[in-house]
Amino acid sequence: MEDCFNANTKEHVDSNTRTETNSSPPSNSNSCLKFFQYHGVPEAQGFSTFGIARGALIMSNIVYSTALIVLASKDAGCSEDDDDACDLKVYGFKPSSLISNIAILSGLLSAFFMPVIGAVVDFTPHRRLTGLLASVLIIVIQTTQIFLFDSTWFIMAVLQAIAALVYQVFLLTIFAYIPEISRKVGNEKMTIYSSRFIIVQYTVQILFLVLVGAVQSVIGLDDVNTARASQGMNVVWIAIFFYWGWRLMPANPAMHKLPEGHSILTEGFRQNWRTAKNINTHFKGGVRWFLLGTVFSEASVAAITTLSVIYLSDSLELGGNKIIIFFVLTLICAPIGSKISVFATNRTNPNVSWQMSMLFIFTTLIIGVVTLESIMSDITNYIWGMFIGIGLGWYYSTETQFFGSCVPKGIEAELSGFFVYCSQILIWLPPLVFTLLMENDIAQRWGIAVSSSLFLVAIGLLRCAAPWETIMEESLCESQFSEE
Protein backbone atom coordinates (compact mmCIF):
# COMPACT_ATOMS: atom_id res chain seq x y z
CA MET A 1 0.00 0.00 0.00
CA GLU A 2 1.86 2.90 1.27
CA ASP A 3 5.13 3.98 2.48
CA CYS A 4 7.58 6.68 3.29
CA PHE A 5 10.72 5.91 5.18
CA ASN A 6 12.39 7.83 7.98
CA ALA A 7 14.58 6.87 10.90
CA ASN A 8 11.66 6.01 13.16
CA THR A 9 10.05 3.86 10.49
CA LYS A 10 13.29 1.94 9.93
CA GLU A 11 13.62 1.30 13.65
CA HIS A 12 10.05 0.01 13.77
CA VAL A 13 10.54 -2.27 10.78
CA ASP A 14 13.83 -3.55 12.19
CA SER A 15 12.04 -4.31 15.44
CA ASN A 16 9.33 -6.22 13.57
CA THR A 17 11.99 -8.11 11.65
CA ARG A 18 13.80 -9.16 14.83
CA THR A 19 10.55 -10.32 16.37
CA GLU A 20 9.69 -12.39 13.32
CA THR A 21 13.18 -13.90 13.20
CA ASN A 22 12.99 -15.10 16.77
CA SER A 23 9.53 -16.59 16.39
CA SER A 24 8.94 -20.14 15.27
CA PRO A 25 7.70 -20.80 11.74
CA PRO A 26 3.92 -20.71 11.41
CA SER A 27 2.10 -23.99 11.08
CA ASN A 28 -0.40 -24.61 8.30
CA SER A 29 -3.24 -24.53 10.82
CA ASN A 30 -2.32 -20.95 11.76
CA SER A 31 -1.72 -19.63 8.23
CA CYS A 32 -5.27 -18.37 7.76
CA LEU A 33 -5.25 -16.64 11.15
CA LYS A 34 -1.88 -15.01 10.47
CA PHE A 35 -3.31 -13.57 7.24
CA PHE A 36 -5.48 -11.29 9.41
CA GLN A 37 -2.85 -10.53 12.07
CA TYR A 38 -0.97 -7.91 10.00
CA HIS A 39 2.10 -8.26 12.23
CA GLY A 40 0.11 -7.04 15.22
CA VAL A 41 -0.68 -3.58 13.77
CA PRO A 42 -4.19 -2.81 15.12
CA GLU A 43 -4.93 -0.11 12.51
CA ALA A 44 -4.27 -2.62 9.72
CA GLN A 45 -6.41 -5.24 11.45
CA GLY A 46 -9.22 -2.72 11.86
CA PHE A 47 -9.02 -1.52 8.26
CA SER A 48 -9.20 -5.12 7.05
CA THR A 49 -12.18 -5.80 9.33
CA PHE A 50 -13.96 -2.79 7.88
CA GLY A 51 -13.35 -4.31 4.46
CA ILE A 52 -15.50 -7.26 5.55
CA ALA A 53 -18.33 -4.87 6.44
CA ARG A 54 -17.87 -2.73 3.33
CA GLY A 55 -18.02 -5.75 1.06
CA ALA A 56 -21.49 -6.74 2.25
CA LEU A 57 -22.70 -3.13 2.31
CA ILE A 58 -21.69 -2.38 -1.27
CA MET A 59 -23.20 -5.56 -2.68
CA SER A 60 -26.46 -5.17 -0.77
CA ASN A 61 -26.85 -1.67 -2.21
CA ILE A 62 -26.37 -2.99 -5.73
CA VAL A 63 -29.14 -5.56 -5.19
CA TYR A 64 -31.25 -2.77 -3.70
CA SER A 65 -30.72 -0.55 -6.73
CA THR A 66 -32.17 -3.23 -9.00
CA ALA A 67 -35.32 -3.34 -6.84
CA LEU A 68 -35.65 0.46 -6.89
CA ILE A 69 -35.61 0.43 -10.69
CA VAL A 70 -38.32 -2.27 -10.71
CA LEU A 71 -40.61 -0.30 -8.38
CA ALA A 72 -39.97 3.00 -10.17
CA SER A 73 -40.84 1.35 -13.49
CA LYS A 74 -44.01 -0.06 -11.99
CA ASP A 75 -45.00 3.34 -10.62
CA ALA A 76 -44.40 4.90 -14.05
CA GLY A 77 -46.72 2.35 -15.65
CA CYS A 78 -44.09 0.36 -17.53
CA SER A 79 -44.99 -3.17 -18.59
CA GLU A 80 -42.94 -6.01 -17.07
CA ASP A 81 -43.39 -8.00 -20.30
CA ASP A 82 -41.81 -5.30 -22.47
CA ASP A 83 -38.11 -5.99 -23.03
CA ASP A 84 -37.44 -2.51 -24.40
CA ALA A 85 -36.35 0.32 -22.15
CA CYS A 86 -39.33 2.15 -20.68
CA ASP A 87 -39.86 5.71 -21.97
CA LEU A 88 -42.59 6.58 -19.46
CA LYS A 89 -41.63 8.89 -16.61
CA VAL A 90 -42.09 9.09 -12.86
CA TYR A 91 -41.35 12.28 -10.93
CA GLY A 92 -40.28 13.83 -14.25
CA PHE A 93 -37.63 11.22 -15.17
CA LYS A 94 -37.40 7.82 -16.80
CA PRO A 95 -37.26 5.00 -14.24
CA SER A 96 -33.72 4.10 -15.33
CA SER A 97 -32.59 7.61 -14.41
CA LEU A 98 -33.47 6.98 -10.77
CA ILE A 99 -30.15 5.35 -9.85
CA SER A 100 -28.04 7.89 -11.69
CA ASN A 101 -30.03 10.71 -10.06
CA ILE A 102 -29.33 9.20 -6.64
CA ALA A 103 -25.63 9.22 -7.54
CA ILE A 104 -25.85 12.87 -8.63
CA LEU A 105 -27.50 13.91 -5.37
CA SER A 106 -25.15 11.94 -3.14
CA GLY A 107 -22.13 13.19 -5.11
CA LEU A 108 -23.11 16.83 -4.72
CA LEU A 109 -23.86 16.36 -1.01
CA SER A 110 -20.48 14.68 -0.51
CA ALA A 111 -18.62 17.44 -2.33
CA PHE A 112 -20.27 20.03 -0.08
CA PHE A 113 -20.10 18.29 3.31
CA MET A 114 -16.74 16.53 3.09
CA PRO A 115 -14.71 19.65 4.04
CA VAL A 116 -16.71 19.93 7.25
CA ILE A 117 -16.08 16.31 8.20
CA GLY A 118 -12.45 16.68 7.16
CA ALA A 119 -12.09 19.56 9.61
CA VAL A 120 -13.48 17.38 12.40
CA VAL A 121 -10.93 14.68 11.58
CA ASP A 122 -8.07 17.18 11.35
CA PHE A 123 -8.80 19.70 14.12
CA THR A 124 -10.40 17.52 16.79
CA PRO A 125 -9.53 14.24 18.52
CA HIS A 126 -12.87 12.83 17.34
CA ARG A 127 -11.81 10.93 14.22
CA ARG A 128 -12.73 7.58 15.75
CA LEU A 129 -15.98 8.90 17.23
CA THR A 130 -17.00 10.42 13.89
CA GLY A 131 -16.41 7.14 12.11
CA LEU A 132 -18.28 5.24 14.82
CA LEU A 133 -21.31 7.55 14.57
CA ALA A 134 -21.29 7.25 10.77
CA SER A 135 -21.27 3.47 11.14
CA VAL A 136 -24.27 3.57 13.48
CA LEU A 137 -26.18 5.85 11.11
CA ILE A 138 -25.44 3.52 8.20
CA ILE A 139 -26.88 0.62 10.19
CA VAL A 140 -30.02 2.64 11.01
CA ILE A 141 -30.57 3.59 7.36
CA GLN A 142 -29.95 0.05 6.14
CA THR A 143 -32.44 -1.26 8.69
CA THR A 144 -35.07 1.27 7.60
CA GLN A 145 -34.59 0.29 3.96
CA ILE A 146 -35.78 -3.24 4.69
CA PHE A 147 -39.31 -1.81 4.53
CA LEU A 148 -39.29 -1.37 0.74
CA PHE A 149 -42.78 -1.37 -0.79
CA ASP A 150 -44.68 0.19 -3.70
CA SER A 151 -45.64 3.12 -1.46
CA THR A 152 -42.19 3.68 0.07
CA TRP A 153 -39.73 3.25 -2.80
CA PHE A 154 -39.20 6.98 -3.36
CA ILE A 155 -38.45 7.62 0.31
CA MET A 156 -36.05 4.69 0.26
CA ALA A 157 -34.35 6.15 -2.82
CA VAL A 158 -33.78 9.41 -0.93
CA LEU A 159 -32.36 7.43 1.98
CA GLN A 160 -30.06 5.72 -0.51
CA ALA A 161 -28.56 9.09 -1.40
CA ILE A 162 -28.15 10.02 2.27
CA ALA A 163 -26.56 6.64 3.01
CA ALA A 164 -24.03 7.24 0.24
CA LEU A 165 -23.02 10.52 1.89
CA VAL A 166 -22.69 8.92 5.33
CA TYR A 167 -20.64 6.11 3.81
CA GLN A 168 -18.18 8.68 2.45
CA VAL A 169 -17.88 10.15 5.95
CA PHE A 170 -17.05 6.67 7.21
CA LEU A 171 -14.44 6.21 4.47
CA LEU A 172 -12.84 9.55 5.29
CA THR A 173 -12.29 8.54 8.90
CA ILE A 174 -10.83 5.10 8.19
CA PHE A 175 -8.58 6.26 5.33
CA ALA A 176 -7.00 8.73 7.75
CA TYR A 177 -5.35 5.66 9.34
CA ILE A 178 -3.74 4.47 6.09
CA PRO A 179 -0.59 6.66 6.17
CA GLU A 180 -0.07 5.78 9.82
CA ILE A 181 -0.10 2.09 8.94
CA SER A 182 2.45 2.76 6.22
CA ARG A 183 4.78 4.58 8.62
CA LYS A 184 4.73 1.62 10.97
CA VAL A 185 5.42 -1.19 8.52
CA GLY A 186 7.27 0.27 5.52
CA ASN A 187 6.85 -0.05 1.78
CA GLU A 188 7.35 -3.79 1.27
CA LYS A 189 4.82 -4.83 3.90
CA MET A 190 2.37 -2.14 2.77
CA THR A 191 2.43 -3.57 -0.75
CA ILE A 192 1.36 -6.90 0.73
CA TYR A 193 -1.21 -5.25 3.01
CA SER A 194 -2.70 -3.35 0.07
CA SER A 195 -3.26 -6.60 -1.75
CA ARG A 196 -4.74 -8.23 1.34
CA PHE A 197 -7.18 -5.40 1.99
CA ILE A 198 -8.58 -5.73 -1.51
CA ILE A 199 -8.67 -9.54 -1.38
CA VAL A 200 -10.58 -9.48 1.91
CA GLN A 201 -13.17 -6.97 0.72
CA TYR A 202 -13.74 -8.59 -2.65
CA THR A 203 -13.91 -12.09 -1.18
CA VAL A 204 -16.62 -10.93 1.19
CA GLN A 205 -18.49 -9.29 -1.67
CA ILE A 206 -18.44 -12.60 -3.52
CA LEU A 207 -19.63 -14.56 -0.51
CA PHE A 208 -22.40 -12.09 0.24
CA LEU A 209 -23.69 -12.06 -3.34
CA VAL A 210 -23.58 -15.85 -3.50
CA LEU A 211 -25.55 -15.97 -0.25
CA VAL A 212 -28.15 -13.53 -1.58
CA GLY A 213 -28.39 -15.41 -4.88
CA ALA A 214 -28.84 -18.70 -3.04
CA VAL A 215 -31.63 -17.29 -0.88
CA GLN A 216 -33.31 -15.85 -3.96
CA SER A 217 -33.15 -19.16 -5.84
CA VAL A 218 -34.12 -21.46 -2.98
CA ILE A 219 -37.06 -19.41 -1.72
CA GLY A 220 -38.04 -18.12 -5.17
CA LEU A 221 -37.97 -14.41 -4.38
CA ASP A 222 -38.59 -11.65 -6.89
CA ASP A 223 -36.22 -8.68 -7.17
CA VAL A 224 -38.01 -6.58 -4.52
CA ASN A 225 -38.22 -9.33 -1.92
CA THR A 226 -34.60 -10.24 -2.68
CA ALA A 227 -33.64 -6.65 -1.86
CA ARG A 228 -35.47 -6.84 1.47
CA ALA A 229 -33.78 -10.12 2.37
CA SER A 230 -30.41 -8.74 1.31
CA GLN A 231 -30.85 -5.67 3.50
CA GLY A 232 -31.80 -7.83 6.48
CA MET A 233 -28.70 -9.99 6.16
CA ASN A 234 -26.59 -6.92 5.52
CA VAL A 235 -27.71 -5.17 8.71
CA VAL A 236 -26.62 -8.09 10.90
CA TRP A 237 -23.37 -8.46 8.95
CA ILE A 238 -22.21 -4.83 9.10
CA ALA A 239 -23.28 -4.41 12.73
CA ILE A 240 -20.92 -7.22 13.76
CA PHE A 241 -17.91 -6.07 11.75
CA PHE A 242 -18.33 -2.34 12.33
CA TYR A 243 -18.30 -3.10 16.06
CA TRP A 244 -15.25 -5.32 15.72
CA GLY A 245 -13.39 -2.85 13.51
CA TRP A 246 -13.86 0.12 15.82
CA ARG A 247 -12.71 -1.93 18.81
CA LEU A 248 -9.41 -2.38 16.97
CA MET A 249 -8.98 1.22 15.82
CA PRO A 250 -7.22 3.51 18.33
CA ALA A 251 -8.33 7.04 19.15
CA ASN A 252 -5.99 9.75 17.88
CA PRO A 253 -5.23 13.27 19.07
CA ALA A 254 -6.03 16.28 16.89
CA MET A 255 -3.42 16.79 14.18
CA HIS A 256 -3.81 20.58 14.21
CA LYS A 257 -5.19 23.27 16.48
CA LEU A 258 -8.22 25.19 15.26
CA PRO A 259 -7.18 28.86 14.78
CA GLU A 260 -8.71 31.22 17.31
CA GLY A 261 -11.92 32.78 16.05
CA HIS A 262 -12.42 30.20 13.30
CA SER A 263 -15.44 27.92 13.03
CA ILE A 264 -15.17 24.16 12.52
CA LEU A 265 -17.99 24.49 9.95
CA THR A 266 -16.00 26.73 7.63
CA GLU A 267 -12.43 25.84 8.53
CA GLY A 268 -12.55 22.76 6.32
CA PHE A 269 -13.12 24.86 3.23
CA ARG A 270 -10.30 27.22 4.22
CA GLN A 271 -8.09 24.25 4.95
CA ASN A 272 -8.81 22.67 1.58
CA TRP A 273 -7.82 25.90 -0.14
CA ARG A 274 -4.62 26.15 1.92
CA THR A 275 -3.89 22.48 1.32
CA ALA A 276 -4.30 22.86 -2.42
CA LYS A 277 -1.95 25.87 -2.46
CA ASN A 278 0.65 24.17 -0.28
CA ILE A 279 0.59 20.99 -2.34
CA ASN A 280 1.04 23.00 -5.50
CA THR A 281 4.01 24.80 -3.91
CA HIS A 282 5.81 22.12 -1.91
CA PHE A 283 4.72 18.73 -3.29
CA LYS A 284 4.36 19.36 -6.97
CA GLY A 285 6.29 16.25 -7.99
CA GLY A 286 3.99 13.51 -6.71
CA VAL A 287 1.13 14.44 -4.38
CA ARG A 288 -0.19 17.16 -6.69
CA TRP A 289 -0.50 14.86 -9.69
CA PHE A 290 -1.80 11.94 -7.64
CA LEU A 291 -4.68 14.01 -6.30
CA LEU A 292 -5.48 15.54 -9.69
CA GLY A 293 -5.55 12.05 -11.15
CA THR A 294 -7.80 10.94 -8.29
CA VAL A 295 -10.37 13.64 -9.10
CA PHE A 296 -10.98 12.21 -12.58
CA SER A 297 -10.26 8.51 -12.13
CA GLU A 298 -12.50 8.14 -9.07
CA ALA A 299 -15.37 9.75 -10.96
CA SER A 300 -15.07 7.06 -13.64
CA VAL A 301 -14.59 4.19 -11.18
CA ALA A 302 -17.59 5.18 -9.10
CA ALA A 303 -19.68 5.38 -12.27
CA ILE A 304 -18.91 1.74 -13.08
CA THR A 305 -20.83 0.48 -10.06
CA THR A 306 -23.56 3.11 -10.27
CA LEU A 307 -24.30 2.96 -13.99
CA SER A 308 -23.57 -0.69 -14.68
CA VAL A 309 -26.77 -1.78 -12.93
CA ILE A 310 -28.77 0.42 -15.32
CA TYR A 311 -26.83 -0.69 -18.39
CA LEU A 312 -27.04 -4.38 -17.51
CA SER A 313 -30.76 -4.16 -16.80
CA ASP A 314 -31.89 -1.99 -19.72
CA SER A 315 -29.41 -2.34 -22.57
CA LEU A 316 -28.20 -5.90 -21.98
CA GLU A 317 -31.59 -7.05 -20.61
CA LEU A 318 -30.21 -8.96 -17.63
CA GLY A 319 -32.63 -9.83 -14.84
CA GLY A 320 -31.86 -9.58 -11.14
CA ASN A 321 -30.48 -13.12 -10.93
CA LYS A 322 -28.16 -12.63 -13.89
CA ILE A 323 -26.98 -9.28 -12.53
CA ILE A 324 -25.97 -11.05 -9.32
CA ILE A 325 -24.05 -13.65 -11.35
CA PHE A 326 -22.37 -10.82 -13.31
CA PHE A 327 -21.12 -9.16 -10.14
CA VAL A 328 -20.10 -12.44 -8.54
CA LEU A 329 -17.85 -13.16 -11.52
CA THR A 330 -16.56 -9.59 -11.46
CA LEU A 331 -15.60 -9.94 -7.83
CA ILE A 332 -14.07 -13.38 -8.24
CA CYS A 333 -11.61 -11.88 -10.71
CA ALA A 334 -10.80 -8.78 -8.63
CA PRO A 335 -8.15 -10.57 -6.51
CA ILE A 336 -6.41 -11.47 -9.77
CA GLY A 337 -6.12 -7.74 -10.42
CA SER A 338 -4.78 -7.25 -6.90
CA LYS A 339 -2.02 -9.76 -7.62
CA ILE A 340 -1.30 -8.07 -10.95
CA SER A 341 -0.95 -4.82 -9.01
CA VAL A 342 1.81 -6.28 -6.85
CA PHE A 343 3.56 -7.71 -9.92
CA ALA A 344 3.31 -4.49 -11.99
CA THR A 345 4.19 -2.19 -9.09
CA ASN A 346 7.28 -4.16 -8.12
CA ARG A 347 8.54 -4.04 -11.70
CA THR A 348 7.70 -0.40 -12.37
CA ASN A 349 6.33 1.88 -9.63
CA PRO A 350 2.88 2.73 -8.22
CA ASN A 351 2.41 5.65 -10.64
CA VAL A 352 3.02 3.61 -13.79
CA SER A 353 1.06 0.65 -12.45
CA TRP A 354 -1.91 2.88 -11.59
CA GLN A 355 -1.95 4.33 -15.10
CA MET A 356 -1.82 0.85 -16.58
CA SER A 357 -4.83 -0.21 -14.49
CA MET A 358 -6.85 2.77 -15.73
CA LEU A 359 -5.99 2.05 -19.34
CA PHE A 360 -6.97 -1.58 -18.82
CA ILE A 361 -10.38 -0.65 -17.37
CA PHE A 362 -11.04 1.97 -20.06
CA THR A 363 -10.20 -0.45 -22.87
CA THR A 364 -12.36 -3.17 -21.31
CA LEU A 365 -15.35 -0.85 -20.96
CA ILE A 366 -15.11 0.49 -24.50
CA ILE A 367 -14.80 -2.98 -26.05
CA GLY A 368 -17.84 -4.07 -24.05
CA VAL A 369 -20.19 -1.23 -24.93
CA VAL A 370 -19.21 -1.39 -28.60
CA THR A 371 -19.79 -5.13 -29.01
CA LEU A 372 -22.10 -6.59 -26.35
CA GLU A 373 -25.42 -5.13 -27.52
CA SER A 374 -24.97 -6.70 -30.94
CA ILE A 375 -24.02 -10.09 -29.49
CA MET A 376 -26.60 -10.23 -26.64
CA SER A 377 -25.03 -13.31 -25.06
CA ASP A 378 -24.95 -13.95 -21.32
CA ILE A 379 -21.57 -15.65 -21.64
CA THR A 380 -19.91 -12.64 -23.27
CA ASN A 381 -21.54 -10.36 -20.71
CA TYR A 382 -20.07 -12.43 -17.91
CA ILE A 383 -16.62 -12.46 -19.53
CA TRP A 384 -16.82 -8.68 -19.77
CA GLY A 385 -17.60 -8.51 -16.06
CA MET A 386 -14.62 -10.71 -15.25
CA PHE A 387 -12.22 -8.38 -17.05
CA ILE A 388 -13.78 -5.37 -15.31
CA GLY A 389 -13.13 -7.12 -12.00
CA ILE A 390 -9.48 -7.66 -12.85
CA GLY A 391 -9.13 -3.98 -13.66
CA LEU A 392 -10.84 -2.81 -10.47
CA GLY A 393 -8.73 -5.06 -8.25
CA TRP A 394 -5.61 -3.72 -9.93
CA TYR A 395 -6.79 -0.11 -9.68
CA TYR A 396 -7.72 -0.03 -6.00
CA SER A 397 -4.64 -1.92 -4.80
CA THR A 398 -2.30 0.43 -6.63
CA GLU A 399 -4.18 3.58 -5.66
CA THR A 400 -3.89 2.77 -1.97
CA GLN A 401 -0.18 2.07 -2.27
CA PHE A 402 0.47 5.24 -4.30
CA PHE A 403 -1.36 7.33 -1.72
CA GLY A 404 0.56 5.94 1.24
CA SER A 405 3.87 6.18 -0.56
CA CYS A 406 3.67 9.84 -1.53
CA VAL A 407 2.22 11.34 1.67
CA PRO A 408 4.87 13.32 3.61
CA LYS A 409 5.11 12.76 7.34
CA GLY A 410 3.23 15.19 9.58
CA ILE A 411 0.27 15.84 7.29
CA GLU A 412 -1.18 12.33 7.00
CA ALA A 413 -4.63 13.04 8.45
CA GLU A 414 -4.96 16.29 6.54
CA LEU A 415 -4.06 14.70 3.22
CA SER A 416 -6.23 11.66 3.93
CA GLY A 417 -9.23 13.94 4.24
CA PHE A 418 -8.20 15.91 1.18
CA PHE A 419 -7.75 12.66 -0.76
CA VAL A 420 -11.30 11.53 0.06
CA TYR A 421 -12.55 15.01 -0.85
CA CYS A 422 -10.76 14.88 -4.20
CA SER A 423 -12.36 11.51 -4.88
CA GLN A 424 -15.78 13.14 -4.45
CA ILE A 425 -15.37 16.42 -6.34
CA LEU A 426 -16.52 15.11 -9.74
CA ILE A 427 -18.27 11.91 -8.68
CA TRP A 428 -21.60 13.46 -9.68
CA LEU A 429 -20.49 14.30 -13.24
CA PRO A 430 -20.68 10.88 -15.00
CA PRO A 431 -24.18 10.13 -13.61
CA LEU A 432 -25.31 13.61 -14.69
CA VAL A 433 -24.02 13.09 -18.23
CA PHE A 434 -25.56 9.61 -18.29
CA THR A 435 -28.95 10.95 -17.17
CA LEU A 436 -28.91 13.77 -19.72
CA LEU A 437 -28.11 11.33 -22.52
CA MET A 438 -30.82 8.88 -21.43
CA GLU A 439 -33.47 11.58 -21.07
CA ASN A 440 -32.66 12.70 -24.63
CA ASP A 441 -33.01 9.14 -25.98
CA ILE A 442 -29.29 8.65 -26.63
CA ALA A 443 -28.09 5.06 -26.24
CA GLN A 444 -26.79 4.17 -22.79
CA ARG A 445 -23.57 2.78 -24.24
CA TRP A 446 -22.50 6.31 -25.13
CA GLY A 447 -23.06 7.36 -21.53
CA ILE A 448 -20.77 4.54 -20.37
CA ALA A 449 -18.15 5.55 -22.96
CA VAL A 450 -18.19 9.22 -21.95
CA SER A 451 -18.04 8.34 -18.25
CA SER A 452 -15.04 6.07 -18.72
CA SER A 453 -13.18 8.70 -20.78
CA LEU A 454 -12.24 10.50 -17.57
CA PHE A 455 -9.66 7.74 -17.09
CA LEU A 456 -7.77 9.19 -20.04
CA VAL A 457 -7.71 12.62 -18.40
CA ALA A 458 -6.32 11.05 -15.21
CA ILE A 459 -3.63 9.19 -17.15
CA GLY A 460 -2.60 12.40 -18.89
CA LEU A 461 -2.25 14.18 -15.56
CA LEU A 462 -0.25 11.37 -13.96
CA ARG A 463 2.15 11.40 -16.91
CA CYS A 464 3.17 14.87 -15.71
CA ALA A 465 4.38 13.57 -12.33
CA ALA A 466 8.06 13.56 -11.40
CA PRO A 467 10.15 10.36 -11.55
CA TRP A 468 9.31 7.97 -8.72
CA GLU A 469 12.64 8.59 -6.96
CA THR A 470 11.77 12.29 -6.71
CA ILE A 471 8.29 11.50 -5.39
CA MET A 472 9.82 9.33 -2.68
CA GLU A 473 12.28 12.07 -1.73
CA GLU A 474 9.34 14.43 -1.23
CA SER A 475 7.61 11.92 1.01
CA LEU A 476 10.64 11.27 3.24
CA CYS A 477 10.74 14.76 4.69
CA GLU A 478 8.78 15.64 7.81
CA SER A 479 6.44 18.35 6.61
CA GLN A 480 4.14 20.97 7.98
CA PHE A 481 1.83 23.00 5.77
CA SER A 482 1.93 26.75 5.92
CA GLU A 483 -1.05 28.25 7.76
CA GLU A 484 -1.11 31.29 5.52
Mean per-residue pLDDT pooled into runs of 10, the chain (484 residues): 34 36 44 68 89 91 87 79 65 79 84 82 84 95 93 90 89 82 77 80 87 90 91 95 92 78 82 84 86 93 85 83 87 86 90 95 94 89 94 89 78 72 87 88 89 94 91 71 50
CA distance 382 to 390: 13
Whole-model pTM: value is 0.76
Which pLDDT score is estimated for 241? Answer: 95
Which pLDDT score is estimated for 12? Answer: 36
What amino acid is encoded at 44 in this protein?
A
Q: Of the candidates 210, 58, 81, 63, which has an alpha carbon nearest to the alpha carbon of residue 148?
A: 63
User: How many CB atoms are located within 10 Å of the residue 287 CB?
Assistant: 28
Q: What are phi and psi of 55, to 5 degrees?
A: -60, -45
Which pLDDT score is estimated for 251? Answer: 84
User: How many CB atoms are located within 10 Å of the residue 151 CB?
Assistant: 10
Q: Can you state the percent helix, strand and coil of the chain, rounding each to 5? A: 80, 0, 20
The contacts of residue 330 (CB under 8 Å, 6+ apart) are 385, 386, 388, 389, 392
User: How many CB atoms are located within 10 Å of the residue 336 CB?
Assistant: 17
CA distance 141 to 272: 30
Which pLDDT score is estimated for 206? Answer: 87
CA distance 377 to 231: 30
The 3-class secondary structure across 42-92, one letter per residue, is: HHHHHHHHHHHHHHHHHHHHHHHHHHHHHHHHHHHCCCCCCCCCCCCCECC
The secondary structure of residue 294, as a DSSP letter, is H
**What pLDDT digit, counting tens, does each position of 401-419 carry?**
888 788 776 676 667 767 8
